[in-house]
Amino acid sequence: MTRRRINIQEPRGDTAYRAIKTAIVANRLKPGALVSEEAWARELRVSRTPVREALNRLEQENLVRRVPKRGVFVADLSLDEFLDICEVRSLLEGNACHVAAQRIDEADLDKFEQEFRQLAAKQPTSEDLHRANEVDRAFHMYILETAGNQQVIAIISRLNDMITRLRFALTPSRYHESLAEHGQILAGLRARDGEAAAAAMRSHMDNVSRSLHRIKLSRRQWTESQPAASHATALEEPA
């Protein structure tokens, strides 16, 4: 691990919490990985106490789990939870597209379109994957904020950690497809066609759900064929 400088103005427990959470959400710490108090304390140059406090908070958020006499591990990615989230997002964000299409700012769309085109023009590096996830999240939140329903924004914001984990897990296999789908959403918004934008958003979420269903089926078939082995925890598309 690369050592990090901590912010002396920030409580050390908060620094540890933010650092470990970022590593989990960005999929740098994989599902099932051991989260070592000692290793993180050494990286952040703090005692183990703030790291322990951070892990307690992350456990409450279901991002880590404790196994007696073994340690703390990154929580598995639940396919069923993600499928539920996709259904919620399809309904809420589809409707948000319908409303936002009449309020959209062309200059904002130009910026997102440029980002999507630049990302789509290459075979992605790890840096491109990270950038694609940042732009993805910003685009979806821009639509919600433009639509202006504060309750919907609050609901999606509460789910954003799970949504970001899903993005990082699926992006390598759906990189170009996802960018194309976002381009279709953007085209509907630019035409101020609420129905087309909403349909593109629902189609996008349906495609994510189908990818998750394929993973679920593949995982079930794998575990049935190898009953003695524990199944993989990483959420990845089958080859």
Amino acid at 161: D
> Which ranges constitute the DSSP H helices of the chain?
12-25, 37-44, 48-60, 79-100, 106-120, 126-147, 150-190, 194-225
| Residue ranges of domains in the chain, CATH in brackets | 12-74 (1.10.10.10), 79-225 (1.20.120.530)
Query: Tokens at residue 16, please?
Result: 């540890």
Decide: 165 and 27 in contact? Cβ < 8 Å. yes
Q: Over its length of 239 residues, how does the chain's per-residue pLDDT go in tens digits?
A: 444 554 556 788 899 999 999 999 888 898 899 999 999 999 999 999 999 999 999 999 889 999 999 999 999 878 888 899 999 999 999 999 999 999 999 999 999 999 999 999 888 998 998 899 999 999 999 999 999 999 999 999 989 888 888 888 777 889 999 999 999 999 999 999 999 999 999 999 999 999 988 877 776 654 445 444 344 344 544 33
- How far apart are the C-alpha atoms of 99 and 148, rounded to whole Å? 9
Buried b (16+ CB within 10 A) or exposed e, 56-84: ebbeeeebbeeeeeeebbbbebebeebee
Which residues lie below 8 Å from residue 28, measured CB to CB, with a gap of 6+? 22
Which residue type sits at 68?
A: P
| Single pTM value for the model | 0.77
